[in-house]
Structure 1
Amino acid sequence: MSLTVGKKSPGEKIFDAANIIFLTVFSITAVYPFLNVLSISFSTSQAANAYGLKLWPQEISFEGYRAVFANKLIWTGYYNTIFRTVLGTLLNVLFSVMCAYPLSKKYLPHRNLFTAFIVFTMFFGGGLIPNYLLIKELGLLDSRWALILPGLIAAFTMIIVRNYFMSLPEELEESARIDGANEIRILFSIVLPISVPIIATISLWYAVAHWNAWFDSLLYISDPHKAVLGNVLRKIVIEGSSQFQQFDQGFNQNGQPAVTPDIIKSATIMVATIPIILVYPFVQKYFVKGVMVGSLKG
């Protein structure tokens, strides 16, 4: 008698091989543009202008990054983006938790009705012009608060947190009430310490959203000193050569410009992308647990 337990059938082997090939090709198509931009950002002007694929720099040069970091617009954009990301993420997480916690309690009157109102906003919105008029009437135009307050609570994220809180054992809160703790004390002393996975997950969601956001800044901010890094990046990459006049490009030994527009664009993209990429490894371990538990119980 032959044992076949654990062995894969020919169909399963073919499926696995096709899966590996597809995912490999998909990974290459996703990683290559990033490597190409990274390579150009570290290249000399001659190497950057050379024809062909660029997976690694032929001649390493840091002139592109020197020119980028010498531009005051980059540092201003960094400050505004970091300010928005840090403060916005803290407020987003705080208010999402404060909204999700009471909605997770069965004894909250009209809980399902409140939840339905919030879910309604996921499918229907006022539109661009009403939102702009609202921001204008609130006196938030050209204010950094216009980038934070309108999206203070993301409905989908709040629902995920609510479902996570509903999965926690009720006995923990009941024992705390017996000891005299109120709801605020229970939330911050008991619930949040055991909710690290979901808190880390939504923190990264909010942080990435704030870091990458630029359209609301384009709409509501007219002062260039309050523009976020995404807007600065957009001006450099899309609006073109007029922005390069603000860079100290320098010249090499042959009297040619040390950096080209492509090098400056690539270095700017890397400067805007690398910081948020570095955050992922520290919170990735919380993703599966936080999202799965928060999405199963409704």
Structure 2
Amino acid sequence: MDLIAALRTFLRVAEVGSFSAVAAERSVTQPAISRQVSALEEHFGTRLVQRSTHAVTLTEEGRDLVPAAQQLVDSADALQERTGRRRTKPVGRVRLSVPVPLGLFFSSNLNSLLKKHDELSIDLILHDRLRDLIEEGIDLQVCVGEVNDSALISRRIGATAAFLVGAPDYLKGRAAPKEPADLQLHDCIVYHRWGRDDVWWFAGPEGAVSASVRGRFRANNSDAVRRAALNGHGIALLSHLLVADDISAGRLRVLMPAFPPARFPLTVVYPSRRNLPPRVRTVIEHLSEIVQSDPAMRDDGEVRAVPHSEVSGPD
């Protein structure tokens, strides 16, 4: 028995006092309505209505059931309305895990998304390492590099862009590096997160070039690396989203322009494509749009896909 459907029928019978009237409203037979009420009586183990040839009246138990039945039906209607709304429009909270620089960029470009969808909310998690989506209840995560987890759905939304930089104070009295091998002679600020963090990749005239780096300062947060670079502690490899203003203001200098940092794919991952809620799909589309709105992060289709074990680049 469909309890909610039977309660709807019972409430309508209680209101009009007739099986046949309710049957006519619903284009079914009178016995079909009578069977629904009988099934409800059997379910509760008590008689709910008195039947006669002229009318149907409620018993005392039937009258007692009406308010509780109405509350249950109203709750079911509200739940169905809310669930139906969630199927057709972005409603609810999206937990989004994003690398720090991209997270700061995203938080500065949220206004249009939240204005357009007034029932959508964002829980932004800035990360310097990959998170466990299932264990931490994360809806979406943006990753740098190739994603090899077959349990996750992935979508490429752009690519990293970075600069190798140093502060004028650090470079004073030192020869600036001209090629990756020269980095062995410098203090490099190592951004420690995952993978080979002591190997940096660059795009050379003949292809990708790697350089092993060393330094006396390491950090697991990109903004901490930026601050250390600004204070002259060494050379850093950082996202353009973090250092573009510093470069324009002269606080940091771009190094090795003939060997720009390698670009890596930016990929959004999520647990399943099946029944993807509109709220999650909407955030994915917005992420893709704002990344593509920055020419430096557009993916030209030639960006090298590397596993996380090799990545030690910007995020």
Fold shared by both chains (TM-score > 0.5):
no
Give the strand-richer structure, 1 or 2: 2
Structure index of larger Rg: 2
Give the helix-richer structure, 1 or 2: 1
Structure showing greater relative contact order (alpha-carbon pairs closer than 8 Å, 6 or more residues apart): 1
TM bin (shorter chain): under 0.3
What's the TM-score, normalizing by structure 2? 0.21
